């Protein structure tokens, strides 16, 4: 028994000090698998080619002064963690978020083995690991996990304010906001960043306490599982005598795309007698730059162009095409992770993730 307890204590110490997901896999295999394929896990310049391509252009890159570490590699004090990006511990130890003009700051608990989490119905609970024996040691019962304690009382994990340490806004040295995510999406417990980007999926969150579902830890977004987010976009259609309109309703509490590199496109095809004709592609972007021209984020001082579909907006796009009964209108809404005009400048011509047009939602409208 003493040997077993010794091994357990050593394992616990190792777990408390590591920043990878190896220890988490033992009890959270499904979550760990999802996380391994997420952009949180792949947030460093070692795994994200697009992030590295932008960073390589930064003046501080030559000096090795990695200015993105606060969010992209929050555990970078350890050499190994510099290559691992964000870890399970990175998010689950955030106790609060400080608001600042340039960018917000995550405040970490600093208590070893103390993790924060959220579960409806347990908002007032703190689960501390306990081991109790009775009948002269013959009957042993445990409460909680030997690997970590769980604090369910942190409000930030219910309203998604926990996401705002990194995803709220970022100003450059010119006090210009390079990217912004409206904080309206981090106030409501029922609908917020977490409920949208970490929807409930089938499978137990842990092997210790079996549940039917868990929150998706692959973090649905532009890179990963965008199909999970298509329900936040709705298409509308209005037919006129000599034209028609497609309405794109962005039901999200933020711009359809918030990153300045993203480009959204609405592609519409008119199908008649099995012949498909592509109509004019509509492009939605938010371009930042200086002196009226696009520039790298650290140089930007202004918004050069902004046609991005805004939060909760219903954008109408008119097509001067007369429709008749039997026609079909194919509607495709998709995006590029990197603006095609910036691909060559960033030397990403051969990178599939940067150059691929990804479909967010498509729908066929049959004309009667």
- How many other C-beta atoms lie within 10 A of the C-beta of residue 240? 12
- What is the rounded CA–CA span in Å between residue 53 and residue 68? 13
**Is-above-0.95 flag for pTM?**
no
DSSP string, 265-310: EEEEEEEETTEEEE-PPEEEEEEEEETTEE--GGG--EEEEE-PPP
Q: Which two tokens stand for residue 63?
A: 């000096």
Sorted by where each begins, the domain ranges of the chain are 2-215, 226-366
CB-based contacts of 338: which residues, under 8 Å, 6+ apart?
50, 261, 262, 263, 346, 348, 354, 355
Domain 226-366: state its class.
mainly beta
pLDDT (tens place) for every residue of the chain, 368 residues total: 343 333 344 444 444 444 567 889 999 999 999 999 999 999 999 999 999 999 999 999 999 889 899 999 998 766 566 678 899 999 999 999 999 999 999 999 989 899 999 999 999 999 998 877 666 666 667 778 888 999 999 999 999 999 999 999 999 999 999 999 988 889 999 999 999 999 999 999 999 889 999 999 999 999 999 999 999 999 999 999 999 999 999 999 999 999 999 999 999 999 999 999 999 999 999 999 999 999 999 999 999 999 999 999 999 999 999 999 999 999 999 999 999 999 999 999 999 999 999 999 999 999 99
């Amino acid at each position: 028994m003493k040997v077993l307890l010794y091994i357990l204590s050593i394992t616990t110490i190792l777990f408390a000090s590591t920043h990878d997901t190896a220890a988490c896999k033992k009890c959270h295999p499904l979550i760990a698998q999802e996380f391994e394929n997420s952009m949180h896990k792949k947030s460093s310049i070692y795994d994200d080619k697009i992030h590295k391509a932008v960073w390589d252009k930064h003046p501080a890159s030559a000096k090795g002064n990695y200015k993105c570490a606060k969010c992209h590699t929050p555990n970078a004090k350890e050499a190994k963690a510099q290559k691992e990006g964000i870890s399970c511990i990175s998010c689950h130890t955030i106790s609060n978020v400080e608001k600042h003009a340039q960018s917000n700051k995550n405040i970490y608990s600093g208590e070893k083995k103390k993790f924060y989490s959220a579960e409806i119905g347990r908002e007032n609970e703190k689960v501390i690991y306990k081991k109790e024996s009775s009948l002269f040691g013959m009957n042993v019962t445990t409460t909680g996990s030997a690997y970590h304690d769980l604090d369910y009382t942190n409000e930030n994990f219910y309203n998604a304010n926990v996401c705002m340490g990194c995803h709220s806004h970022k100003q450059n040295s010119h006090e210009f906001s390079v990217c912004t995510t409206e904080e309206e999406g981090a106030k409501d417990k029922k609908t917020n960043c977490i409920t949208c980007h970490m929807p409930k999926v089938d499978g137990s969150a842990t092997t210790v306490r079996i549940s039917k579902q868990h929150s998706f830890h692959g973090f649905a977004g532009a890179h990963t599982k965008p199909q999970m987010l298509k329900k936040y976009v709705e298409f509308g259609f209005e037919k006129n005598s000599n034209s028609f309109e497609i309405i794109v309703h962005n039901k999200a509490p933020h711009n359809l795309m918030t990153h300045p590199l993203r480009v959204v496109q609405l592609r519409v095809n008119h199908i008649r007698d099995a012949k498909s004709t592509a109509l004019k592609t509509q492009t939605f972007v938010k371009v930042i730059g200086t002196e009226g021209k696009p520039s790298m984020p650290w140089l930007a001082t202004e918004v050069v162009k902004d046609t991005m579909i805004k939060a909760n907006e219903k954008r109408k796009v008119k097509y001067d095409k007369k429709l008749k009964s039997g026609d079909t209108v194919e509607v495709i809404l998709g995006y590029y992770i990197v603006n095609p005009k910036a691909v060559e400048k960033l030397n990403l011509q051969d990178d599939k993730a940067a150059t691929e047009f990804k479909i967010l939602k498509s729908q066929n409208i049959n004309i009667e």
